[in-house]
Structures are given as structure tokens and as C-alpha cells.
A and B are shown apart, each in its own frame.
Chain A
């Protein structure tokens, strides 16, 4: 069955056969509400997916090694040993000591300017970039470092963020589930509407049958009507959802937070969202067709 044939605009006479046309019943509005919620859920899913990717890409393969040792000489010795060890490890692609100036900048908010100059013991920080997937072997890395520098501490950013990432992934999956549930509900609504329409137009259907109309010819009348209703409802719902998304997007941008900023609709997101009304029309058409053909089969 060709998509074009499914969605073909009906000639005037066909349209009149089932005159209780668009907007007459509640179905277009129910579909509009469904589409609105689906657009929000899908956008949420897409944005969260993008956020998980961004966080993952930026932080998952990064770690920070600290040498926490009060004695400056021992600290420097251990730092050198740790750097040597890190350079040997195959899982480490890069290890750089955070310089004095950078440390001063990082600590200034807590210790005030010139803290480094005074006698406060400041740990040595080494920024480590790991090979992708190496976080799993982090314990071995830790053991190796311990041997070289007993005062070592390792912060694995991926591990620190893991609960957040897991939550984001979970929410993303929830969004996908919501979209699927919404599609199912839409199909059910269409089925109910198609059954009601079949009852309303039972007389016309009988006459069409007796004049020699095939089930497919009759089903086409109904599926066209459902497609038009779904198109109307889908576009209304999509427009409403789009407006809400734009407003949310502005608020998020205004927050300017890095973590929240990661929650943004990726570029292809709008294209994906545009598929929803189209998918809705197709879904409605197929659901109506199935329902009507199934019911007609039980008539003579």
C-alpha cells in the first residue's frame, strides 16, 4: 500500500459520504493533547540523551590525581613518582600537573589571594585523561599509583557523575516509554473513534456494500477522515508543544548553568520532533484502516 494512496485527499463526493467531518468530534482535540504531551516527552528524551552524551564525553574519561602531603619535599617527590608511573600506564593518554598559577586561581575563592605564597600546604593536582573505557580498570591504576606515591588520592569524574548520568539515562528511557505509550493511546483513541463512526454510518456502509463497494473502498472513506482529523490535531498539538519548548529553552539559557545548559535540544531534535505529527497521521490512518476492515469483515 502506497503512502500517497493512504493520504490522498478525497474527492468532494467521497467527503460528503461521511459528512461528520473534521473537528466535529472530540478526536482531533484528543489527538492534539496526545501530540502536545508526546512532543514534550520526546523533546525531553532527546535533550536528556544529548546531556548524557555531553557529560559522558567531557568527563567520563577524566580523573584527577591528588598528592595530599603536608611536607613539601615529600610531596614533590611523590608527585614526580606519580607522574612517572602515570606515564608508563597504557590506560593513561595524558597526565599533566596543574600549574601554580592555575592552582592559585582555583583556590583563591577559598583561601584568598596569595594563599600559595603563605605556608598553607596545597596538594599537588594532576589532570589525567584516560583511554575510553579505562575507568573500569581504575582500581589497578590506583594500586599502581599507591606503590609509587602513598599519599595519592584519585577522583574519578565519571564515577562522581555516575549517579547523575544514570539518572539522566533513566529519565531518557522514561521519555521513550512515554512516547510509545502515547502512540498506543493514540491508536486506541482512533480505534474507538473509528468504531463510533462505523456505528453512526452503518446505514451508509450497508448501502455501499449492497451497491458493490469493496471493504477497502469503504475503509478508505474512514481512514481519510481519521487522517485529516489526526493531521489537524497533530499540528495543533505540535505547535503548542513547540511553543512550550521554545519558552523552556529561553529559561534554561537564562540560567546559564553548565549542568542545566547541557540539557538542550540537539540540532537534529526539531527534525525528529517534526516526524511526530507525520507519524501520528500514519498511525491514525493505519489504526482506522485495521479497525474498519476488521469490523467490515464481520458484515456480509
Chain B
């Protein structure tokens, strides 16, 4: 399968300090399901930011959908970003918008007509079990409900890559299982999934998933098979 994401010797430095990410090299296949693990502060969020184009690397090469995105001009960024769905670690729901409008936002940004977006948004809210709360503002939603709105917003536009940063951080194990089931369903529809988590229990829940491990800014096995463990289902390790 074609590589949908490719990192080569990527380094990221915030300000003047030491590098947060060091010599990160890996590639992700189209339609794969990947976990990114590692202790808190290892640089998982930083790596995902590079992936969803919220940050440019200090050095190295990043290719998305076969194109170099490091030198991509600003006006081409929106087009790439619309192909990537993101569940942010802190959700980043727009506080003034209802759950419905938050989920509808990517479609509105993409220029979908109002009459064409009501049904998909309602279906998506039903899918994450939030039909009843469609008119609620984020502040009135529980942490888990906010997380599900964030997930609904990330997938509504049928992205080619779904990036989720600690998506089960704020939910109980049962809800975590349901969310994971959601990701798996998307994965089966062909979406490439990248989930950062330090929750080891999660890793065993998706049989087809592969795992990358980040420690103090380095991929654990950067020179080997680019992934750790090199190949095969996580559950097997």
C-alpha cells in the first residue's frame, strides 16, 4: 500500500531549547491503524501537530499524500488540512457554538450548503450518542460529551487521515471502548487512523493496529523497521 505519511529525519525545536523531536523517521500506509505511545512529555502531541500541519518542523522532510508539506506555501495548507480530521487533546470546541454547529463547522468551511449539512451532522451526532445534546454549548457538556463532539467534528468531513490525540483521556473505560469501536469502523471504511495514547489497555483493543513508541523525542526504533514492534498486530506482542 502507498505511504500516506512519511517522516524523514524530522527534528522539532521550540524556541532555543533542546529538540523536542529528534531524528524522527517513519512512514504510514494508506488505510492503516496506528497507535503512538510513550510517556507524558515524550513529544506525541508535537509529532501529531506536525502531522496535522499545525506546526512546521525545524528540519527534516515530511510528505503527506505524496507531497512535501514542509515547503508547502501557506495558501495550499487549507486544502491539505481539509483532508485530515483532528481530535485535539484539549478538544478545542468553539465555545460559542452548539454541539451541532461545532460538528457542522468543517462542512461549512468546505462550503457545503446549509440544506445539505443538516442530515449528515444529525447522523454523526446520533453516531456518537449526542442527538439529545445537539443544541448544547460545550460548557454545558461533560468532558466525555465534549470529547465525542470533538470526534464527530473530526470525522464529519470524511477525512483521509484521522488524527486523535489522547482521545480516551477523559472518558471511562466503557466509553473508551465505544470510541475505539468508532475509530475501527472508520478504519474499515478506509480511513488512515493515528491515535496517540499512553493508555496501554487501549492498544490491545484493535487487533489490526500497529504501534510506534516515542521516548524523549525519539522513536524507539528509528533505524529499524520504522515501527515498533516492526510489523504485525499489537496484540501479538
> How distant is A17 from chain B, measured CB to nearest CB, in Å?
7
Residues of B within 8 A of A14 (CB): 108
Residues of B within 8 A of A212 (CB): 78-82, 106, 109-110
Residues of A within 8 A of B110 (CB): 212
User: 1/0 per position for A289-300, CB-CB distance to B under 8 A?
Assistant: 000000001001
User: 1/0 per position for A200-230, CB-CB distance to B under 8 A?
Assistant: 0001101111111111010000000000000
Residues of A within 8 A of B108 (CB): 13-14
Given contacts A210-B81, A214-B78, contact A16 B96 (CB under 8 A): yes
Contact present for B94 and A213 (CB under 8 Å): no
Residues of B within 8 A of A207 (CB): 92, 94, 105
A154 to B79, CA, bound (A): 81
User: 1/0 per position for A1-27, CB-CB distance to B under 8 A?
Assistant: 000000000010110111100000000
Contact present for A206 and B78 (CB under 8 Å): no
Contact present for B97 and A17 (CB under 8 Å): yes
**Chain B residues within 8 Å of chain A by Cβ, number:** 27
The answer, yes or no, to whether B62 is at the interface (CB within 8 Å) is no
> How distant is B221 from chain A, measured CB to nearest CB, in Å?
30
The answer, yes or no, to whether B75 is at the interface (CB within 8 Å) is yes
A17 to B95, CA, bound (A): 9
Contact present for A203 and B92 (CB under 8 Å): yes
A interface SS class: helix
A17 to B102, CA, bound (A): 10
The residue from A19, A209, A214 contacting B96, defined by CB atoms under 8 A apart: A19
A212 to B77, CA, bound (A): 7
A215 to B109, CA, bound (A): 11
The answer, yes or no, to whether B201 is at the interface (CB within 8 Å) is no
Contact present for A217 and B96 (CB under 8 Å): no
> How distant is A142 from chain B, measured CB to nearest CB, in Å?
73
Contact present for B55 and A300 (CB under 8 Å): yes
Contact present for B109 and A204 (CB under 8 Å): no
The answer, yes or no, to whether B52 is at the interface (CB within 8 Å) is yes
A211 to B159, CA, bound (A): 11
> How distant is B57 from chain A, measured CB to nearest CB, in Å?
12
Residues of B within 8 A of A210 (CB): 52-54, 81, 86, 92
Contact present for B101 and A211 (CB under 8 Å): no
> How distant is B115 from chain A, measured CB to nearest CB, in Å?
12
**Chain B contacts with A in 67-81, Cβ cutoff 8 A:** 74-75, 77-81
Contact present for A13 and B101 (CB under 8 Å): yes
**Chain A residues within 8 Å of chain B by Cβ, number:** 22
Q: Smallest CB-CB separation from B74: which chain A residue?
A: A297
Q: Smallest CB-CB separation from A13: which chain B residue?
A: B101
Residues of A within 8 A of B78 (CB): 209, 212-214
A214 to B76, CA, bound (A): 9
A14 to B97, CA, bound (A): 10
The residue from A11, A213, A300 contacting B54, defined by CB atoms under 8 A apart: A300
A17 to B101, CA, bound (A): 9
User: 1/0 per position for A48-74, CB-CB distance to B under 8 A?
Assistant: 000000000000000000000000000
The answer, yes or no, to whether B56 is at the interface (CB within 8 Å) is yes
The answer, yes or no, to whether B104 is at the interface (CB within 8 Å) is yes
> How distant is A94 from chain B, measured CB to nearest CB, in Å?
71
Residues of A within 8 A of B101 (CB): 13, 16
Residues of A within 8 A of B54 (CB): 206, 210, 300
A13 to B104, CA, bound (A): 10
A201 to B80, CA, bound (A): 23
Contact present for B109 and A11 (CB under 8 Å): no
**Chain B contacts with A in 12-43, Cβ cutoff 8 A:** none
The answer, yes or no, to whether B114 is at the interface (CB within 8 Å) is yes
Residues of A within 8 A of B77 (CB): 209, 300
Contact present for B55 and A211 (CB under 8 Å): no
A19 to B101, CA, bound (A): 13
Contact present for A211 and B114 (CB under 8 Å): no
Contact present for A209 and B81 (CB under 8 Å): yes
Residues of B within 8 A of A214 (CB): 75, 78
Across the A-B interface, give the 6 residue pairs with the lowest CB-CB distance, nearest first: A212-B82, A212-B81, A19-B96, A212-B78, A213-B109, A214-B78
Interface contacts beyond A13-B104, A17-B94: sample of 5 additional A-B pairs, CB < 8 Å, sorted by A: A203-B94, A211-B105, A212-B82, A214-B75, A297-B74
A-B contact pairs, 12 of them (CB 8 A): A203-B92, A203-B94, A206-B92, A207-B92, A209-B78, A210-B54, A211-B109, A213-B109, A214-B75, A297-B74, A300-B53, A300-B54
Which chain A residues have a beta carbon within 8 Å of chain B's beta carbons?
11, 13-14, 16-19, 203-204, 206-215, 217, 297, 300
